[in-house]
Amino acid sequence: MMNIGILSLQGAVEPHKRKLEALGATATEVRHARDLKDLAGIILPGGESTAMIHLLRTNKLWEPLKEFVKYRATLGVCAGAILLAKQVSSPHQPSLEAMDIEIERNAFGRQIDSFIDWCDPTLGSPFERTEGVFIRAPRIRSLNGCARPLLLWRDEPVLVEEENLIVSTFHPELTDSATIHAYFLTKAKHTNG
């Protein structure tokens, strides 16, 4: 059984756990560097990216996680996408600098501006039209290197992958579909040979 970690310092952990378990994977809550041992991949959930950064450093997890995401399958959702981006704006803040994208925090507006809408697949994407739940969502302002969009919302990239990494500016764990989590598990299996 595949063991997937979920960063559990702050943010939406349980919905991801339910998706993983429904797909036959084991979900391990990650709070310390020792929790990364024997994981096939990790999910960095939505929440508050500045709080996550503070807690990652407090728990001495920043550097071990930065190393882990270089090689293991990683899904960053909303705040998790911010953590994985090479560049963060509005305001600038540190990140794990893993995916070659520039992301703008809270670019879709405040909590009151949250919405649900359909996202369309790009040419060659493994996905069909997908429901997206956008909550204080960031915007991907630029894609660089090998980063490629998989889903678009009004021609804007909202689900992007680069090698072992996937970022989503919306919350796939809050929908009925498990396709994004299933795709992530496929990537985790592939990166673990």
Question: How much is the pLDDT for 106?
Answer: 82
- pLDDT tens for 73-130 read 999 999 999 999 999 998 899 999 999 999 999 887 777 778 999 999 999 999 999 9
**78 classed as catalytic:** yes
pLDDT tens, position by position, 109-121: 777 778 999 999 9
Candidate list 16, 78, 162, 181, residue with the active-site label: 78
Question: What single letter denotes the amino acid at residue 176?
Answer: D
Instruction: Let me know: does 21 contact 4? Beta carbons within 8 Å.
Output: no
**Dihedral sign from CA coordinates of 46, 35, 164, 84:** positive
Residue 193 clears pLDDT 70, i.e. is over it: no
Sign of CA dihedral 73, 77, 78, 83: negative
151 in Cβ contact with 119 (< 8 Å)? yes
18-64 confidence digits (pLDDT tens): 999 999 999 999 999 999 999 999 999 999 999 999 999 999 999 99
Contacts of 107 (CB under 8 A, 6+ apart): 90, 137, 138, 139, 141
Output the six-digit token pair for 63.
């550097």
| pTM greater than the 0.85 cutoff | yes
Look at residue 35 and give its three-state secondary structure.
Answer: helix
For residue 146, indicate whether it is catalytic.
Answer: no
**What does the domain layout of the chain look like in residue ranges?**
3-191
User: What residues contact 79, with CB distance under 8 A and at least 6 apart?
Assistant: 11, 44, 45, 46, 47, 48, 49, 52
Active-site residue (options: 119, 161, 162, 171): 171
In sequence order, which residues have a C-beta less than 8 Å from that of residue 4 and are 6 or more positions away?
Answer: 20, 25, 26, 27, 28, 39, 40, 41, 42, 43, 185, 188
Catalytic residue, candidates 104, 161, 162, 173: 173
What does the angle CA 180 – CA 186 – CA 189 come to, to the nearest 5 degrees? Answer: 145
Please say if 119 is a catalytic residue. no
Fold classification of 3-191 is: Rossmann fold (3.40.50)
